[in-house]
């Protein structure tokens, strides 16, 4: 995953670029970069942020780099922005998305000329470099961007900074958001709509699916109108989006309150308190508490002063250990209590099992688990939301595999329907394996109701496998 921010200003943009990019730190944990264009031409800096937050790594650049335009990004994988010299001239490019047909595109480019790509460690090609190569096959940038969006299997949102302005292009089906802000002497482009508010910008517009604009200090000019079809990622509201953001006019925080309320509407347990796994389940738990009348409490607190999300290592075993170390129990709120605990989702189940055991060890009488989304059954084909390389990392798929080895069920779609016996059997086994007192997932129809957007405009592939 990743986040981006761009500024086109009549004066130096560095302050806005620095803090606007920093406001996307929750979306990536490995690489960050900024590129600016000013009197001296293009300048760029990229740092590893695995062991230190963005501000710490770029505090030097904010005083040394300058320019009237700039783009910045937080990335979970490839180093970017890249500065490219081509027949279009020199430009800086950064992307957010996923390319499923990368090998096919590389071979296609090799077949049309004697191109080359720089390999990253591990032998992979930088996806942003590949996007630039695809764009460069066409006669102008706007045509190249449209071409890239058409032939990339997956999704691709991009910012391209030239000496004349910043091209912003939302992916073809709008799986990720792009928000434009404005103030008296500048315009900005942001993944998260809240990121520019404290910098003095107000919202100008959200780009529609596949829309391409060029942003200058004077304004925003549309180069390609938005398409009619949209498949924005629902998981942005459930988890990845920052609480103060909104997408398609729908508040992230309010959606999570609605989500918790609808969870409570179908529940029949009577715990002593409702709690959210910090911080991903907190808003959902507030919504549940408000609707049910069961008190909201914080039986454990995340220690955040020296444990920001950007510190999380890439090795899963270390991530699990640190996630556990960050949570500090409040024993008086746990001892002899029946707890209902809400988290955004269950992926592998490792962390939530350890959290549950930690609550039992701290004196909890019962731990009821209520994920704020349905069971995750399919790996995401469109965004790099997870470090998992196999769907078998999902606890649902492991349990289903066990059932199939026993000769039980084979139709995967049955496990996404809460009315089937297959679904109930899967839940029972997950609950037993993770040592929950009870387990009830959010229903897909209820979750969509919590968002308030027609299902045909939402991507729900990771839950129901429907494209």
- According to the model, what pLDDT value does residue 233 have? 97
Token pair listed for 120: 């990253």
Residue 304 has pLDDT above 90, yes or no: no
Rounded mean pLDDT of 49-73?
92
CB-based contact 247:258 (threshold 8 Å): no
* pLDDT, tens digit, 9 for 90 and up, residues 320-343: 566 667 788 899 999 999 999 999
* pLDDT, tens digit, 9 for 90 and up, residues 22-31: 999 999 888 9
Residue 180 has pLDDT above 80, yes or no: yes
- According to the model, what pLDDT value does residue 322 have? 60
* pLDDT, tens digit, 9 for 90 and up, residues 189-223: 999 999 999 999 999 999 999 999 999 999 999 99
Residue 441 has pLDDT above 90, yes or no: yes
- According to the model, what pLDDT value does residue 64 have? 93
Residue 308 has pLDDT above 70, yes or no: no
Is pTM, for the whole model, over 0.85? yes
Residue 311 has pLDDT above 50, yes or no: no
Rounded mean pLDDT of 329-358?
93
Confidence of residue 315 (pLDDT cuts 50, 70, 90): low
- According to the model, what pLDDT value does residue 119 have? 77
Residue 389 has pLDDT above 80, yes or no: no
Residue 131, judged by CB atoms within 10 A of its CB (0-12, 13-18, 19+), counts as: buried
Residue 309 has pLDDT above 60, yes or no: no
Q: Where are the alpha helices (DSSP H) in 226-382?
A: 235, 252-265, 282-292, 316-326, 350-361
Residue 312 has pLDDT above 90, yes or no: no
Residue 52 has pLDDT above 90, yes or no: no
Confidence of residue 310 (pLDDT cuts 50, 70, 90): very low
Cα–Cα dist 379/382, whole Å: 9
Cα–Cα dist 105/107, whole Å: 5
Cα–Cα dist 453/406, whole Å: 40
């Amino acid at each position: 995953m990743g986040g981006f921010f761009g500024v086109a200003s009549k004066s130096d943009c560095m302050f806005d670029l620095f803090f606007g990019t920093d406001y996307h730190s929750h979306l990536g944990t490995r690489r960050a970069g900024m590129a600016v264009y000013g009197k001296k031409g293009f300048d760029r800096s990229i740092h590893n942020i695995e062991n230190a937050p963005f501000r710490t790594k770029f505090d030097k650049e904010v005083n040394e780099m300058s320019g009237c335009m700039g783009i910045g990004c937080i990335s979970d994988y490839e180093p970017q922005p890249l500065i490219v010299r081509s027949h279009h001239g020199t430009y800086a490019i950064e992307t957010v998305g996923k390319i499923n047909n990368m090998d096919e595109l590389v071979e296609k480019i090799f077949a049309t000329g004697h191109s080359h790509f720089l390999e990253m460690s591990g032998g992979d090609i930088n996806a942003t470099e590949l996007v630039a190569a695809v764009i460069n096959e066409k006669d102008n940038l706007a045509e190249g961007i449209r071409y890239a969006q058409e032939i990339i299997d997956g999704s691709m949102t991009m910012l391209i900074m030239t000496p004349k302005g910043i091209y912003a292009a939302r992916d073809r089906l709008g799986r990720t958001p792009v928000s434009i802000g404005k103030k008296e002497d500048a315009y900005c482009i942001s993944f998260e709509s809240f990121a520019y508010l404290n910098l003095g910008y107000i919202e100008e517009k959200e780009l529609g699916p596949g829309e391409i604009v060029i942003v200058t200090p004077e304004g925003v000019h549309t180069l390609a109108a938005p398409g009619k079809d949209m498949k924005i990622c629902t998981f942005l509201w459930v988890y990845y989006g920052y609480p103060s953001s909104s997408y398609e006019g729908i508040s992230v925080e309010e959606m999570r309150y609605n989500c918790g309320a609808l969870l409570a509407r179908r529940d029949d347990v009577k715990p002593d308190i409702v709690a959210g796994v910090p911080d991903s389940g907190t808003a959902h738990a507030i919504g549940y508490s408000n609707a049910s009348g069961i008190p909201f409490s914080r039986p454990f607190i995340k220690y955040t002063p020296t444990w920001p999300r950007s510190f999380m290592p890439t090795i899963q075993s270390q991530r699990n250990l640190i996630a556990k170390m960050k949570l500090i129990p409040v024993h008086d709120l746990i001892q002899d209590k029946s707890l209902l605990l809400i988290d955004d989702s269950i992926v592998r189940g490792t962390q939530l099992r350890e959290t549950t055991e930690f609550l039992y060890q701290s004196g909890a009488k019962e731990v009821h688990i209520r994920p704020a989304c349905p069971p995750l059954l399919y790996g995401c084909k469109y965004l790099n939301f997870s470090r998992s390389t196999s769907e078998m990392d999902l606890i649902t798929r492991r349990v289903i595999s066990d059932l199939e080895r026993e000769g039980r069920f084979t139709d995967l779609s049955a496990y996404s329907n809460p009315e089937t016996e297959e679904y109930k059997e899967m839940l029972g086994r997950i609950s037993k394996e993770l040592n929950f007192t009870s387990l009830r997932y959010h229903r897909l129809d209820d979750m969509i109701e919590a968002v308030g957007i027609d299902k045909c405009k939402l991507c729900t592939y990771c839950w129901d496998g429907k494209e």
